[in-house]
Amino acid sequence: MFGYRVPAPDQAMLISGGKRGLGGAPFRVVTGHGKFVLPVFRKTRFLTLAMCEAEVEEKCVTRQGITLTVRAVIAFKVGNDHESIVNAGQRFLSDQEQMAILTGRIFAGHLRAIIGSMTVEEIVTERQKLATEVLETSKTEMAKIGLIVDSLQIQSIDDGDTGYIEAMSAPHKAAIRRQAQIAQAQAGQAAAEAEQEATRRQAEYARQTAIVQAEYNAEVDRAQAEAAQAGPLAQAHAQREVLAAQTELAERRAELRRKELVAEVVRPAEAEAERIRLLATAEAERMRIQAEAAASHDRVALDRMLIDQLPQIVKEASGGLAGANVNVLNGTDGLGQIAAGLVGQGLTILDSVKQNLTGGATGTAGGAGTAGGARRGTDSGPIGIE
């Protein structure tokens, strides 16, 4: 609309003519909104509020008398408050580029003053301290012209051909080179150790792989051996079972044979022995009867007759065994035992006959008295056989 003016967001609109501004300012300040301005009667100008930059390159002498060339960059702008806009408008509205020139000159003077009170070592190592002191000393002066400084950056410090900074940095450079060499050596050592560790791990892996492979091969060989031995083992087991069965069968056969021998040999021998015993008993009974009958006859003749009959008795007893199916199990010992048994049976029969005869003779003699006077021998016992 005609006569309505609006400043940009980074501008301040200064309206002159008509009423004076706040605080007796020769113009009114408008920011952030528009305003009607009467043409011809009012004049409108715009002051930038944007950030500006000023570069400074100044030769300064330190407290040690060493000349340094200092390069710095200053970032500044017109303050947002009404007083700063009025102060800046009165000074720079017609030539706003003068703000950067004046700011550079102000900071150049403060740089020379502050660097003159410092040593090269302090300037090089404490650049932030230098920038802070320059800002603090220039703040009041900059406020008077309506400007504020956002930052000051020291870009470079050069001592020309004096070589002071280079000499000052030599120990640090040497230390850095030494540290770099140490770091490189440590890196090389670490690389060598890493390579050795990798080689060791590879060798360990190869060893473990070989062990696993050997165990696998051993397992395969063992399985193959077991498979190969399975047939012979099964055959041997079967043969062992066959042998066990044969052994059991042989034991059963031996037991059966023992029972057969008992039935075939022992039982017939016992029967034969019983028969011989009965025959001997009968013969003894016969002889006893004969002895009783002959008790009145001569005892010596009777005794001799008994002695003469004893071999016949044994012979008859042994003859009974001749027809029996007798198997001698103990060899010559068994044969001797049978012969001794026969002789013993003969003697037993003889003794029995003698006792019977003696008893019969005694009874007869008791009945007959001592008239015959035919008894011979001792008074204390039966007749002995010499």
**Where does a domain end: 115, 141, 165?**
165
In a domain, 5, yes or no: no
- Residue 303: predicted pLDDT: 60
Task: Return contacts of 15-19, CB within 8 angstroms, 24+ apart.
Answer: 15/42, 15/43, 15/44, 16/42, 16/43, 16/45, 17/41, 17/42, 17/43, 18/42
Output the pLDDT for position 377: 37
User: Which SS3 state, helix, strand or coil, does residue 30 take?
Assistant: strand
Q: Is 343 exposed, middle or buried (0-12, 13-18, 19+ CB in 10 A)?
A: middle
Tokens at 275, concatenated: 């028969």
10-residue mean pLDDT series, the chain (386 residues): 76 78 74 78 86 90 89 90 87 88 90 89 87 88 89 87 81 84 89 90 91 90 84 82 89 87 81 84 82 64 63 60 49 53 62 59 41 36 34
Q: What is the pLDDT at residue 361?
A: 45
CB under 8 Å to 386, separation ≥6 — which residues? none
- The residue written with tokens 């715009």 in the block is 46
Q: Coil, strand or helix: which one is 283?
A: helix
CA 6 vs CA 36, 46, 47: distances in Å: 9, 10, 13
pLDDT at 317: 55
Residue 348 lies in a domain: yes
Structural domain harbouring 306:
261-368
In b/e form, how buried is each residue of 270-295, taking b as 16+ CB within 10 angstroms?
eebbeebeebbeebbeebbebbbebb
Q: For residue 65, what is the domain's CATH number?
A: 3.30.479.30
Residue given tokens 């039966």 in the structure block? 382
Q: Provide the pLDDT for residue 296.
A: 59
Residue 221, in any domain of the structure: no
For residue 155, tell me if it sits in a domain: yes
Residue 328 neighbours by CB under 8 Å, 6+ apart: 334, 335, 338
Distance CA 365, CA 370 (A): 7
Residue 86 near residue 40, CB atoms below 8 Å: no
- Total count of domains within the chain: 2
* CA distances in angstroms from 220 to 58, 86, 216, 227, listed in the order given: 90, 102, 6, 10
Is 69 part of any domain?
yes
Q: Which of 48, 47, 72 is nearest to 58 (CA)?
A: 72
CB burial of residue 123 (10 Å; 0-12, 13-18, 19+): buried
Note whether 58 and 69 are within 8 A (CB): yes
> C-alpha distances in angstroms, 30 versus 36, 47, 52, 298, 340?
11, 10, 21, 197, 167
To which residue do tokens 């009012």 refer? 42
pLDDT of residue 169: 76
| 111 belongs to a structural domain | yes
- Cα(344)–Cα(363) distance, rounded to whole angstroms? 28
pTM of the model as a whole: 0.42
Tokens linked to 194: 């890493």
Q: Is 350 domain-assigned?
A: yes
User: Is 192 within the bounds of a domain?
Assistant: no
Domain stops at, among 124, 145, 165: 165
Show the tokens assigned to 384.
């002995």
Last residue of some domain: 111, 138, 165?
Answer: 165
Distance of CA 172 to the CA centre of its chain: 54
Q: Are 130 and 110 in contact (CB under 8 A)?
A: no
Cβ(349)–Cβ(283) below 8 Å: yes
- Cβ neighbors of 239 (< 8 A, separation 6 or more) are none
